[in-house]
Chains A and B, each alone.
Chain A
Amino acid sequence: MAHVGDTQAGNIPLAEVPDVELYHPKSWITKYVFSQDAKVIAIQYSCTAIAIGLVGLVLSWLMRLQLGFPDTFSFIEASDYYQYVTMHGMIMVIYLLTALFLGGFGNYLIPLMVGARDMVFPYVNMLSYWVYLIAVIVLTASFFVPGGPTGAGWTLYPPQAILSGTPGQEWGIILMLVSLILFIIGFTMGGLNYVVTVLQARARGMTLMRLPLTIWGIFVATILALLAFPALFVACVMMLLDRVLGTSFFMPDIVEIGEQLAYTGGSPILFQHLFWFFGHPEVYIVALPAFGIVSDLISVHARKSIFGYRMMVWAIIAIGGLSFIVWAHHMYVSGMNPYFGFFFATTTLIIAVPTALKLYNWVLTLWKGNIHFTIPMLFCIAFIVTFLNGGITGLFLGNVAVDVPLSDTMFVVAHFHMVMGVAPIFVVFGAIYHWFPLMSGRMLNEGMGKFHFWVTFVGAYLIYFPMHYLGFVGVPRRYYEVGETSFIPDSAADLNAFITVMVLIVGFAQVVFIFNIIRSLIKGKLAERNPWNATTLEWQTAEFPPGHGNFGDLPVVYRWAYEFSLPGVKDDFIPQNLAPNLINMADDDDSVDEQVAE
């Protein structure tokens, strides 16, 4: 085993590039609060995202209580229910998943995995977190203003979003729009860092095609986000002006409670286009980092190089590009030209090609691998299955003729929860179990982890499979209660009650997970330096857990991240920065280089 800085023995001259000037914190405040260290910012991002995510989780419990047992909980009014739906959706998609994958994992892993000391613009990176925090605070504040948070649905469609009768019309919608605008400003600052660090600050020898797929996923997702969030930004600004100044960007001539409003000549459908021009790439902003992380975890925990690395990279790029020309498949029922729908159905189905390619490659990586059923691996397998399930229902919904009858039913809810809720969250869990030792120096408890996994995995299926059937029989989404409806059988109510019970059980498993994190932070088993025998640079830092500046001498990279189980080599992995002449061979052999070349 070589240690960091063992470059004198390699065949590459030390980097002539001057080392970066690093900002060194001078006090406790600049070290842990207003920190410019990407690792601290990552932890701040993650904690904030998980905290607001727990709020979203509790909101989902309240929603399910109402759906499973209508007329039982008197404190849940119809308007409350709409507020729960709206805030749950917005929190989970934007403030939890986007922030956690890019702000959390992106910040932590990019500098470490590409072999940099820090992000390229650390000060801007710090601002990014604080603007995000303000966005979260503004969002949370909307729970406490008169009228409560907005209940317009997470898509915030005008005109109803800003008309009276929609909960939160007074303040909630304003705070929601302001919060989103802030989030986008904050994200753009962070996103610039993630992209430029990957492009310009890689260690010597770390070519683009030697990057771990985690970095590829986060990198392309950040580019998508930088190009997609402006659409949401414009939409939010315009709607804010409609609400506050009475402009008519989205508001048509409209009558409210028998009274003609001053709005005139706006276009509600324009908002839908802008929203989904952001909204569809957003699916991949969440999915691509998950794709990347899962590729690395599978490879490490199956001790086998990833199958089809180049195809995996190109598929990520292709999916990213395609995601910008499919947005109107969210709008089949908005009265569009059939040829328009045909175009978007076609592009939607084309996305299945690179996505299926990735699925095959994950399965082929597992094929004949030395699979270790660690908790990260379990979550990866769960992800593959779940993403496949959710992806296939996506093929149904991508076709106009199938989508029209299923639109606005529970089938849609089940589909998008499987594909962009449950599946990416599995990867988040897998990644936390995988990288927690790196971040804290301690292992998470395995028993609690197994419990967490099995309850979450089986529970997620018991929640969302029945929901597909509810959608088939026509149970609509976003309804406070279905009541007496001739086409919905009574058994739908039983199924709803069953789903609610499952939701509460799965919710309990998440409480166990949080407990596991807190307990392991304090008295978890101390981790070895590289507990999973991974090849990537984040495990090769000077200190463990990595300290300020990450590395001693900047690492030199000699190979890609997937050298596992090479014949003739003693260890079953070769770190990326291990010089070729330091590789431990199984038996003494003088032709080291030839063996490695095999």
Chain B
Amino acid sequence: MSIFSQISEKPWLESVDNIINMRPSNAFHVPTPIVGLRILLAAMTVLFVLTAISYADHMRLPNWRPLPDPFLLWLNTLILITSSVALQWARSAARHGDLGAVKKVFFAGGVLAIAFLLGQFLVSQQLVDMGYYASSNSANAFFYLITGLHALHLTGGMVAWGRTITKLLRGFSASQIALSVELCAIYWHFLLFVWLGLFTLMVST
């Protein structure tokens, strides 16, 4: 049942009762935490889209001076892609019940994400050393704002990653942690796409 046909029923008619009553009552046939995550991602999409629009709005102002793209930023992007790939690998391994692979790849994915966060920190250090202060131009300010917001969200994801790691260490089975791994993977992919979008925006201008 699509959500549209669900909201066009006529609840006052007795005739539809028996059909309605046999149906499971959840609107989406996926685990509840995934529905929750999707809604969270929708809210986060608004956040990042509005930030990007604000960025674009500032670009047309007269004293916008774009800052250079440090090489490290490309490397970080590559690391984040690898991290996302690792989590996807862990996700399918968990689905196939391969606990050994899940442990290795899931752990590696998180370590790569930490490497990305450290890399982002180094980039901002480099830029500050080169004199690109947040207060000197809004292009700089936006760079720190965007990377900062993105890094904060990834740090939040690291909490979920850490909790899943604890479950793995405590010896949960593959089917018990499959959902946690899947949630992490979805979140990672989302943040990867957000980063690719924002990175393209920043590099192309």
Contact = CB atoms under 8 A, between A and B. Distances in A.
B17 A208 contact: no
Contacts of B169: none
Contacts of B25: 202-207
B71 interface: no
B47 A205 contact: no
A200 B47 contact: no
Contacts of B64: 265
B57 A227 contact: no
A258 to B, nearest CB: 21
Contact of B54 (A11, A262, A274, A313): A274
Contacts of B40: 188, 192
A11 B21 CA distance: 9
Interface string A241-280: 1000111110000000000001011110010001001000
Interface in B40-72: 40, 42-44, 46-47, 50-51, 54, 57-58, 61-64
B26 A195 contact: no
Nearest to B135: A246
A208 B57 contact: no
Interface residues of B, number: 49
A266 B138 contact: yes
Contact of A205 (B21, B27, B35): B21
B200 interface: no
Interface in B109-159: 134-135, 137-138, 141-142, 145, 149
A220 to B, nearest CB: 11
Interface in A102-154: 120-121
Interface stretch (B7-15, B98-106, B176-184): B7-15
Contact of B39 (A192, A203, A209, A596): A192
A310 B12 CA distance: 10
B39 A196 contact: yes
B9 A226 contact: no
B6 interface: yes
B203 interface: no
Contacts of B39: 192, 195-196, 226
Of B10, B17, B23, most A-chain CB atoms within 10 Å: B17
A33 interface: no
B81 to A, nearest CB: 26
A457 interface: no
B165 to A, nearest CB: 19
A207 B51 contact: no
B145 A238 contact: yes
B32 interface: yes
A584 B61 CA distance: 73
A313 to B, nearest CB: 6
Nearest to A208: B6
Interface stretch (A467-475, A526-534, A556-564): A556-564
B20 interface: yes
Contact of A267 (B10, B47, B61): B61
Interface in A556-576: 556, 558-560, 562
Interface in A566-598: 596-597
Contact of A188 (B10, B24, B43, B149): B43
Contacts of A265: 58, 61-64, 137-138
Contact of A209 (B9, B24, B35, B63): B9
- Classify chain A: how many residues form its interface, as a range: 35 or more
Contact of A270 (B54, B62, B134): B54
A301 B193 CA distance: 52
Contacts of B24: 17, 204
B28 interface: yes
B162 interface: no
A262 B43 contact: no
A199 B134 contact: no
A233 B47 contact: yes
A274 B50 contact: yes
Given A246-B135, A249-B54, A231 B46 contact: yes
A266 B136 CA distance: 11
Contacts of B7: 208-209, 313-314, 317
B36 A120 contact: yes
A388 to B, nearest CB: 27
Contacts of B61: 265, 267
A202 B21 CA distance: 12
B12 to A, nearest CB: 6
Contact of A202 (B26, B46, B138): B26
Interface string A191-235: 110011001111111111110000000000000001111110110
Contact of B36 (A192, A208, A317, A558): A192
Contacts of A277: 50
Contacts of B14: 596-597
A562 B12 CA distance: 8
A559 B17 contact: yes
A314 to B, nearest CB: 8
A234 B57 contact: no
A237 interface: yes
B166 to A, nearest CB: 16
A322 to B, nearest CB: 17
Contact of A230 (B17, B33, B43, B134): B43
B124 to A, nearest CB: 13
B20 A205 contact: yes
Contacts of B35: 196, 199-200
A305 interface: yes
B9 to A, nearest CB: 4
Contacts of A205: 20-21, 25
B36 A267 contact: no
Contacts of A559: 11, 17
A591 to B, nearest CB: 13
15 contacts: A192-B39, A196-B36, A200-B26, A204-B21, A204-B24, A207-B11, A234-B51, A238-B145, A241-B145, A247-B135, A249-B141, A249-B145, A264-B137, A267-B61, A558-B21
Q: Which 6 A-B pairs have the closest CB atoms?
A: A230-B47, A560-B11, A246-B135, A247-B141, A265-B63, A202-B25
Interface of A: 11-12, 17, 120-121, 188, 191-192, 195-196, 199-210, 226-231, 233-234, 237-238, 241, 245-249, 262, 264-267, 270, 274, 277, 305, 309-310, 313-314, 317, 556, 558-560, 562, 596-597
Given A249-B138, A310-B8, 8 more contacts: A191-B43, A196-B35, A196-B39, A205-B25, A228-B46, A249-B54, A249-B58, A314-B7
